[in-house]
């Protein structure tokens, strides 16, 4: 039980996704994007799977997301803040959802607000869901949430629940 408390404390203290204004304002080449994503997602997803000898974030994956119109093509082989925000959302959500479902969820989010606001709200909901799940505290009243906000809260909660089971019970990452 003591080990669980250490993991809970560590997880809630390190659960920070870069908000829109924390993503570099300069365009990045794909290697820089991969490195930036790995640095910031290592607390959330398994970056490298020793069992299969595979990386969770690769240039090929990002190129496939472009090829399948999940994200817009880079401009002069460089990725901007919007690309990177999309990639954060994709790499987190692909832990639970198909690409088709992810595209639908992203479309729902950006149809109801700006990409900046949608991305920041996503980050805050993920962080809050992790805090709620790892500490056992409860959410405040959900009755004032729109349907889109309630869907986002449930998406974030499903990710946090998966992360909790992996960290506490399966002890992997």
Q: Is the pLDDT of residue 23 over 90?
A: yes
Q: At what angle do helices 81-93 and 115-135 cross, to 10 degrees?
A: 30
Across 144-166, average pLDDT: 88
Residue boundaries of the structural domains of the chain: 2-170
Q: What is the pLDDT of residues 88-138, one digit of tens each?
A: 999 999 989 999 999 999 999 999 899 999 999 999 999 999 998 888 877
CA dist 168 and 18 (Å) reads: 25
> Counting Cβ atoms within 10 Å, is residue 107 exposed (0-12), middle (13-18) or buried (19+)?
exposed
- The pTM score is 0.84
- Mean pLDDT for the chain? 86
Binning pLDDT at 50, 70 and 90, where does residue 83 land? Answer: very high
DSSP characters for 106-135? Answer: HHHHHHHS-HHHHHHHHHHHHHHHHHHHHH
Q: Would you say residue 16 has pLDDT above 90?
A: no
> What pLDDT score does 44 carry?
84
């Amino acid at each position: 039980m003591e080990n669980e408390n250490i993991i809970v404390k560590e997880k809630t203290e390190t659960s920070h996704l870069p908000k829109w204004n924390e993503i570099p304002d300069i365009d990045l080449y794909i290697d820089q994007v991969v490195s930036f994503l790995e640095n910031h997602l290592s607390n959330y997803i398994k970056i490298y799977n020793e069992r299969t000898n595979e990386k969770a974030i690769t240039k090929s994956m990002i190129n496939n997301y472009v090829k399948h119109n999940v994200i817009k093509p880079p401009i002069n082989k460089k990725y901007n803040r919007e690309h990177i925000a999309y990639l954060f959302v994709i790499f987190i959500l692909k832990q639970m959802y198909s690409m088709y479902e992810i595209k639908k969820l992203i479309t729902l989010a950006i149809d109801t607000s700006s990409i900046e606001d949608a991305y920041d709200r996503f980050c805050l909901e993920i962080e809050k869901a992790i805090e709620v799940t790892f500490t056992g505290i409860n959410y405040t009243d959900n009755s004032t949430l729109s349907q889109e906000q309630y869907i986002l809260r449930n998406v974030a909660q499903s990710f946090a629940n998966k992360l909790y089971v992996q960290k506490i019970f399966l002890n992997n990452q």
